[in-house]
Structure 1
Amino acid sequence: MVEPIRWGILGASAFARKDMAPAIHAARGAEFVALATSSPDKAEGFRAFCPSLRLHDGYDALLADPAIDAVYIPLPNHLHVEWSLKALEAGKHVLCEKPMAMAAGEYDALIAARDASGRFATEAYMIVHHPQWQRARALYEDGAIGRLIHVEGLFGYDNADAPGNVRNRPETGGGGIPDIGVYTYGCTRWLTGEEPVEITHADVDFENGVDVLARVSARFPSFSAHWVNSMRMHPCQEMTFVGSEGIIKLTAPFNPARFATARLEVQRNAHGRAGAAAVTEERFPGVDHYILQVEAFGDHVRNGAPYPWHLEDARGTQAVIDAVFAKARGAGG
């Protein structure tokens, strides 16, 4: 019998309680054994599904626990690098929420620490584990839509009524782009394998020092892209890849379990330019990409199995974010 990866979580965030801790608890080859929090009240929500959970009253205490193999870090963005480095120094594998750093250059220390420690560390970019994205990438690579010409990405929600939320606070690394721009930018990079050569347009609205609406255009080596991300709009999400011979569209690409059933649509002209488009649809109900992420992490740690998202991938997306902010501020944003 394979020994499970024993997980600890740094911090009792709502997201960890609702999504990642249950995923760790449910994942094959994983065991959720410890939580670090100074608030026993917050721990009760975790113990509801994991009664044997061991509590530590500080992050350092959990990292010193020899019974922990890996840690999940759901802390506010500005703390990610610090505690990821401490976890690697303590000999733990690390899965850290996105964005794992606040500037591309900060990934250099993380990559160096990963390599020196011999432990696995990566960003919790769960969408690449979902079968809808793996299918979309396979279709693209097989030439299902011909030559890619343009990408449209949309991801938004409204949290204007929560001014104290970390996403609305500049001192905690808040903002819509760090929170959800990582998805529209990162999935474009991941599916196509290309990096943008230029951010051609960045119209960004700021409130209280954080971006709340960003309309961004980019030029890639072989296609163009336009992304809209906002924390001040009705919930929405969609990714569309338009090619010379067809279209791939994902209608719940980022958090399908909450937004809608994952649906991948392919439109192709079956009879040439004058013919009617043929549309095929694939649905992926009941898939939990958080569980798949934990299982893939464990398979990589134990067996060296391929893993679809590394620190270098996260660094590339952060470089895009850095360029977007530079363009916006250079244009007076």
Structure 2
Amino acid sequence: MTNHIRWGVLGASNFAKTTMAPAINEARRGVLATVASRHTEKAAPFAELAPGLRVHNSYEALLADPKIDAIYIPLPNALHVEWSLKAAEAGKAVLCEKPIALTEADFDRLIAARDRHGHLIAEAFMPVHHPQWTKTRDLIAEGAIGDLHHVTGVFTYGLSDPANVRNSADLAGGALRDVGVYPIGTFRFATGLEPEVTDAEMIREAGVDASTWISAQVGAVRLRFHVSMRASRRQEMVFEGTQGHIRLPAPFNAGNHAEAQVQLWRDGREDRIFRFPKDRQYVAQVEAFNATLLDGAPYACPLEFSRGTQAMIDAVFEVVS
């Protein structure tokens, strides 16, 4: 491996084009080297980002490319496990969009492949790389709000287009898999706690969950999350303690939804606001991945962490069934 990571993008999705390919290109110690698309005209915008970009007209050709160290996978959810495993078998490190797997059993397959081949495989869960979440974790650990006892999380947006992959049951769409991972995963990251689902409600449309409400508990801490693809655009996480609360107004799409802030309240008054106006979590995610490959640095979101989030998602589906 060279002193920088040569990245390939497996699939010319719109999100890869607008967000992740630019992040890969901007990240330190990495370079966007190639993209694979079965429709080569879709690769043209990627070439504008990286002059000299190589284009493959099949996914298999990208996997066989000896000049690639890591592969980013933005395919529909139902294809994530298949192509993550194929990439690992081809000797590549893998950063796959969430959810990288759809069941705990699939996570076990991915963990086994990672350990067998010795290459990093990870889910692209970008919030844990943003400093607002390490600040939140530190404040909770320091007892800044006393004993934690209640947490609420919301991630909603409007998406009714039946042609969108998120509305496809065959491609494993739905609000829970698309955005439910965010309140669940960030709670687990910030607290180190593993809650159990106690109740859930789900509204289904055309075979996918359009809206889901989750109740969970761990010890004395109660949680209530709401995720939806049929509501107005909203994001928020609130951690309530015996001496105050922490509010994050842009917990997941920091910078895009609103300015990243960690608002600390005590005794009913705003105590401090920690602002993060310039931090870019997608670039930070790629830089963390590069550092793990080049330096052996611990990765903030290993498969074992993502598996814990999937366990909660599996539990929600079990409760509503």
**Is the TM value for this pair above 0.5?**
yes
Partner of residue 305, structure 2:
313
Residue 210 (structure 1) aligned with residue 204 (structure 2): no
Work out which of the residue numbers 277, 282, 285 in structure 1 matches 2:274.
Answer: 282
Partner residue in 2 for 1:79 = 79
8 Å CA contact retained: 1:129, 1:289: yes
Match of 1:260 in 2: 258
SS at match of 1:111: helix
Name which of structure 1's ranges 285-294 and 19-28 shifts more when overlaid on structure 2. 285-294
Contact 2:21 2:32 in 1 (8 A): yes
Equivalent AA in structure 1 for residue 207 of structure 2:
G
Identity among equivalent positions (%) equals 49
Instruction: Name the structure 1 match of 2:125.
Output: 125
CA deviation vs aligned residue, 1:189-244 (integer Å, no higher than 9, x gap): 111111113x2221100000000111110011230100000000010000000011
- Report if aligned partners of 1:194, 1:221 keep a CA contact under 8 Å in 2: no
1:248 to 239, 246, 249: 246
Tell me, yes or no, if the aligned pair for 1:267 and 1:278 is still in contact at 8 Å. yes
Q: Distance in 2 between matches of 1:278 and 1:237?
A: 20
- The within-5 A match list for 1:18-33 is 18-33=18-33
1:267 partner SS: strand
Return the match for 1:223 from 221, 224, 233.
Answer: 221
Helix, strand or coil at the partner of 1:3: coil
Deviates more, 1:14-23 or 1:251-260: 251-260
- The equivalent residue for 2:37 is 37
CA–CA separation in structure 1 for the residues paired with 2:99 and 2:56 = 25
Question: Given the alignment, which residue of 288, 292, 306 partners 1:300?
Answer: 292
Residue 256 of structure 2 aligns to a residue whose secondary structure is helix
1:224 partner SS: strand
- 1:213 counterpart letter in structure 2: S
Residue 194 of structure 1 corresponds to which residue in structure 2? 193
Q: Distance in 2 between matches of 1:221 and 1:320?
A: 16
Between the aligned partners of 1:222 and 1:97, the Cα distance in structure 2 is: 33
Deviation at 1:51, TM superposition (A): 2.2
Matched, 1:49 2:41: no
Q: Secondary structure of the equivalent of 2:155? A: strand
Q: TM-score, normalised by structure 2?
A: 0.98
Provide the residue aligned with 1:272 in structure 2: none
Counterparts of 2:220 and 2:80, CA distance in 1: 34
Partner SS state of residue 292, structure 2: helix
Q: Shift of residue 304 of structure 1?
A: 1.3
Letter in 1 for 2:132: Q
Deviation track 1:150-174 (CA, whole Å, cap 9, x = no partner) reads: 10000000011x1111100000010
- Aligned 8 A contact 1:77 1:99 in 2: yes
Q: SS of 2:170's equivalent? A: helix
**Distance in 2, Cα, partners of 1:80 & 1:268:** 43
Whole-Å Cα distance in 2 between the matches of residues 324 and 32 of structure 1?
38
Q: In 2, distance between residues paired with 1:215 and 1:37?
A: 37
State whether residues 3 and 294 of structure 2, in contact with CA within 8 Å, keep that contact through their aligned partners in structure 1.
Answer: no
CA contact (8 A) 2:263 2:270 kept: no
Letter in 2 for 1:223: V
1:49 counterpart letter in structure 2: L
Kindly indicate whether the alpha-carbon contact (under 8 Å) linking 1:300 and 1:306 is maintained by their aligned counterparts in 2. Answer: yes
Matched with 2:99 is 99
Could you tell me how far apart the structure 1 residues matched to 2:291 and 2:220 are?
35
Q: CA deviation at 1:278?
A: 4.3
Tell whether the 8 Å contact from 1:195 to 1:221 is kept in structure 2 after alignment: no
**Once the 2 structures are TM-superposed, how far is the Cα of residue 257 of structure 1 from its aligned partner?**
2.5
Q: Deviations for 1:95-133, whole angstroms, at most 9, x for unmatched residues? A: 000001111111011000000111111000000000111
Aligned to 1:156: 156
Q: Kindly state the Cα deviation for residue 49 of structure 1 after the two structures are TM-superposed.
A: 1.5
Q: Deviations over 1:241-277 (max 9, x none)?
A: 00111101100010122211111100112xxxxxx53
CA RMSD of aligned residues (A): 1.0
Q: Which residue of 2 aligns with 1:145?
A: 145
Deviation at 1:279, TM superposition (A): 2.3
Q: Name structure 1 gaps, 5 residues minimum.
A: 270-275
Q: Partners of 1:200 and 1:305 in 2: how far apart?
A: 37
Partners of 1:318 and 1:57 in 2: CA distance: 33
- Distance in structure 1 (CA, Å) of the matches to 2:87 and 2:194: 30
* Alignment partner of 1:183 is 2:178: no
What is the aligned residue count?
320
